[in-house]
Structure 1
Amino acid sequence: MRTRLKGLTARDEEVLRRVGAHLGSLASRDLKVRCGDGLGHSARRWAERKREPTAGSSSRWAGAITKASHDQWALARRSQTSHITTLDAAITTITGRLALPVGQKGARGVPGGYRSAAEWFGKSRRLTVLKQRRQQVAADRADGRVRVVRGGKALARGRHQLEAAGMSEERWEAARWFLSADGETGKRYGNETLRVTPDGQVSIKLPAPPAGLANAPHGRYTLAARACFAHRGREWADRVEADRAVAYRIHLDPARDRWYVDASWQRTPARVVPLEAALAAGVVGVDTNADHLAAWHLNTRGNPIGRPRRFSYDLSGSAPHRDAQLRHALTRLLHWTRHLGVAAIAIEDLDFTDVKTRERHGRRRLRQVVHGIPTGRLKARLVSMAAEQGIALVAVDAAYTSRWGARYWQQATSTRKIKTSRHEAASLVIGRRAQGHGARRRTAPPPHHQSDDAGHRTVQARHHDPRREEPRPARTGGRTRSAAPPGA
């Protein structure tokens, strides 16, 4: 959660800048040491790293710094693994396409040869570059070498040309400050280093060099501003009053000249609900697209109820704007699901690890089709937000949902005035797949002699449905029904 610190005095800002700059320098040194250790890091080495910044700050500040450095190194290692996987996929695709004749068409799911000799030549050169890049990244990973910088690579590049990058030096310095502390259960208000009381009073345990700026007992500095968390404020207050761990981070937005404080804590793992209990009241099938979520309500038999809903979002602009758009769309989806009385949402288990290279679809088509769908952020957001609402998630296979939805449900659910889209039909197939039904609306007749010996003829029919599977009664008498049928 984030809230703005309003009403800071000039002295408050000076203290925050000095403390953040001092701890940021310690964090930069520790990150350099951690990257230098590489794969030879151990618990003993971690203790040695922690003793060095303790002399210039405190034991708790040193613990937060060393943990942040270790997490950043581990993130860089995971990024190296992902980068190698992406390079391997690109090399495999280019090698396969180069082996095919120029102009050969591809089969289903397998790309064909390149369109021209010029494109073939360009891709052969690109294959050499990718192999060299892959060899370099693999060597770095084998040696435990990572390439990271505090503040981000984009800021590091713009630091040497501030005017051309349209960036101020304060923005670069603010990105490298360190003003975050992990919570401690059992300590007063859940955090001994950065403390926020239930009434919003913010105080900081000053490190050793600026300890003379303290205005409160025990070397603490109390800010004049008050923190008020509007979102989940009651939940935060309950944790603080019970002295449960809450982590805080104070940071500056140089563009707006505003100070913010973030609060975070770990939630208990969500309870796993049995599939039968989750689907007892039906399900909402959701199809994920680059600019909207298509959802449809299905009953327990897999039949659609009402018309589908569309929750649009715009993923252009800055990262906070994109994240807000996605959260707003998911919030509307969860509120609509609760309004229907449904306890489960069926969503595709999208994974583009095998096709996340531009060699598969081409650069422009890849950006529009693959990278336009926010799979990672959507999964992370939907899992946490659905757990808050008490709604279960059912992940289903995403294979051929759009194709089968367009074939079996798009025309059947369209009217003269309202046309069902391909994505809305796909959401219906996703919901049916979560319930164990097939994509087709009706199955073929029994193979033996078109009777009930081989089972029911339709997937919707049940044993308690009267006269659903019986043969039609014989037509007797006149078609005008003017004569009574014979007794026989």
Structure 2
Amino acid sequence: MGKRIKKKRALRTIAAPFTVSAPTGARIRDRARFNERDVQVLHLAGEHLGHHQRADLAERISLGKVAVKDNQRAPRKKSLTAVSSSRWAGAMTRASEDQYQLSLRALFDERASLRRAVRTVEKRLTVPCGQRSKSGVRGYPTQAERFEKQRRLQVLLGRLAAVEERIEAGSPAVTVGGRRLLKARHNLAKAELTVEQWRGQWEASRLFLTADGESGAPHGNYTITVDPATGEVTMVLPEPLRHPANAPRGRYRFSFTVQFNHRREEWLDRASANRAVRYDFVHDPARDRWYLDASWGAEAAVLPTPEELQARGERLLGVDLNADHLAAYVLDPHGNPVGTPITIPLDLAGPTSQRDGRLRAAISELLRTARSHRCAGIAIENLGFDDARATGRETMGRGKRGKTFRRTVAGMPTAKFRERLRSMAFHAGLVVIAVDPAYTSVWGGRYWQAPIQQTNQKTTVTRHHGASVAIGRRALGHRARRRPGVTANDQRIVARRATGQALPGPRARGTANPPRTASTPTTGGKTRPGQGDQLALFPDPEHRSRGHRTGPVSCDSANDGQHH
């Protein structure tokens, strides 16, 4: 009986690299140092507007999935104008519509995630325990685990049915203030909060103090106005709450001024030209601080494609994102690694504010490295982990090792890293190219780790540095694997020349040394003649892909002697 030949597993289809789009807007912040009177006015207005905005959101959800012309925004805005103002009402109805559409998209994403999980479990349940199907799907190892997966499948199907019912009815569940904060109320000890602290965060998250910008209005916003010359801030109070007004036309002038030091010139250009600028008052109850945020939309920027960067002969910085560090390598236009491997620590432990600061510092160091090496852009993996997070234990390992790996994946700030890098790189004049993450770590460790380590004896090279090289090569349009027959690093020890590196060309006849005859003795006490010690009978024209060295033409007498 012949040996059964194992069918090779087909490789994934690798998607083409693409340029990450530029940010569509900007948001800056400055601290607002209020006095007690200012805080009272803001709380009064925020609670009043927040109450009516939540009522409008409930009315919008009750309408379900309807066309834009049937969402009854005009009647809802008219009823809200009576208890606020026309511009406050427009901001509240716009926020309700945005929240509804966002929640509906979240339902679609949850349905897709549940469907992926159901398909994965069902495939494994069709295979007997301890066996593998022809397509490579493994069955569960034990009958006990199979039984638990059957129960898990029923839970997933129940959740999927509930989600599909909500999508059909067009009524997503929305918690103003955040569902996570709402659930923390039932477990304050685990959340490390007191009742007073939780109440402060809950009330602060439900305030509505957002004013949309309007082109042509004074300094880009009539509801909340910031004077670019003096930094003075005024706000239109809702109609029923205009008794604290200290400025004409029901406006309240605050006792503080703002500067907006970050990207101040851009803000000044818009505010001075009366272009639309949105303002938001934000309260941080943990620090008991108030902030004023300014945001505006940016014009669409046309960024170069990977093909254009390759045609221009630009350098790239390949980056491999890991849980505790960033591994990077500079690549020349031909895809060759240049210099030494780069490692940037990434410590994401601690509270959210510290994690955000460390992530921003790591990205800043990455941008400085790219600019110092004259790189035109940064190549990263298009990491989402959506499918992996959906299928969970089914595809990411079992037991303690699989649990550790899943926690590592969940702790990697892929989305936040991608968004921060996109924004910061755009303002630094760099392009971000996203590539398919398939096999980058495998091929980087197999084909690039050892050669890079040989050229960097004083630096520890990991498979992550090899992955960064594979990422950069893929962004430049080259193969992630090394080409066969690459020249050895040490020519004195390893006698191997490059093959397939350039177009074949003609070379001179003969070899570097005169050809030996059968009577020429071998040197060095060799028991077996080397490849270069073979007899040369009528050398034919060769090209460089044969791996021989180029030398002078042999004399005719030598050839004649060999012939005779």
Change in 2 beyond 3 A, CA 1:35/1:278: same
Equivalent residues in 2 for 1:137-176, closer than 5 Å: 137-159=163-185, 166-168=194-196, 169-176=199-206
Tell me the equivalent position of 1:93.
Answer: 120
Tell me the equivalent position of 1:438.
Answer: 479
1:115 aligns with 2:146: no
1:241 aligns with 2:272: yes
Equivalent residues in 2 for 1:407-422, closer than 5 Å: 407-415=446-454, 416-422=457-463
Tell me the equivalent position of 2:224.
Answer: 194
CA contact (8 A) 1:290 1:368 kept: no
1:473 aligns with 2:514: no
Tell me the equivalent position of 1:449.
Answer: none
**Separation of aligned partners in 2, 1:474 and 1:273:** 48
Tell me the equivalent position of 1:31.
Answer: 57
Change in 2 beyond 3 A, CA 1:36/1:366: farther
Unaligned 5+ segments in structure 2 are 1-27, 487-496, 517-521, 524-551, 557-564
1:69 aligns with 2:96: yes
Identity %: 42
Change in 2 beyond 3 A, CA 1:429/1:54: same
Superimposed CA distance per residue, residues 445-482 of structure 1 (whole angstroms, 9 cap, x where no aligned partner)? 9xxxxxxxxxx97454368xx99x889824228999xx
230, 234, 238: which is aligned to 2:261?
Answer: 230
Mean Cα deviation higher: 40-49 or 418-427: 40-49
Unaligned 5+ segments in structure 1 are 446-455
Equivalent residues in 2 for 1:201-350, closer than 5 Å: 201-279=232-310, 280-350=313-383
**Larger Rg belongs to:** 2
CA contact (8 A) 1:158 1:167 kept: no
CA contact (8 A) 1:183 1:245 kept: yes
CA contact (8 A) 2:384 2:415 kept: no
**Separation of aligned partners in 2, 1:175 and 1:144:** 25
Change in 2 beyond 3 A, CA 1:27/1:437: same
Change in 2 beyond 3 A, CA 1:485/1:102: closer
1:404 aligns with 2:443: yes
Tell me the equivalent position of 2:395.
Answer: 360
Tell me the equivalent position of 1:452.
Answer: none
1:429 aligns with 2:470: yes
Superimposed CA distance per residue, residues 285-329 of structure 1 (whole angstroms, 9 cap, x where no aligned partner)? 111222222111011111111012122222334444333332222
Letter in 1 for 2:284: D
Mean Cα deviation higher: 329-338 or 364-373: 364-373
Superimposed CA distance per residue, residues 371-391 of structure 1 (whole angstroms, 9 cap, x where no aligned partner)? 233222222222222221221
Superimposed CA distance per residue, residues 194-245 of structure 1 (whole angstroms, 9 cap, x where no aligned partner)? 1111132111111111111111112111111111212212221222112111
TM-score using structure 1 length = 0.89
Change in 2 beyond 3 A, CA 1:61/1:285: same
Tell me the equivalent position of 2:494.
Answer: none
Change in 2 beyond 3 A, CA 1:113/1:162: closer
**Separation of aligned partners in 1, 2:270 and 2:332:** 40
Change in 2 beyond 3 A, CA 1:293/1:487: same
Mean Cα deviation higher: 14-23 or 311-320: 311-320
**Separation of aligned partners in 2, 1:442 and 1:352:** 30
CA contact (8 A) 1:171 1:254 kept: yes
Letter in 1 for 2:183: R
CA contact (8 A) 1:91 1:130 kept: yes
TM-score using structure 2 length = 0.77
Corresponding residue SS for 2:299: coil
* Aligned positions, number: 470
Tell me the equivalent position of 2:19.
Answer: none
- CA displacement at 1:281 relative to structure 2: 2.2
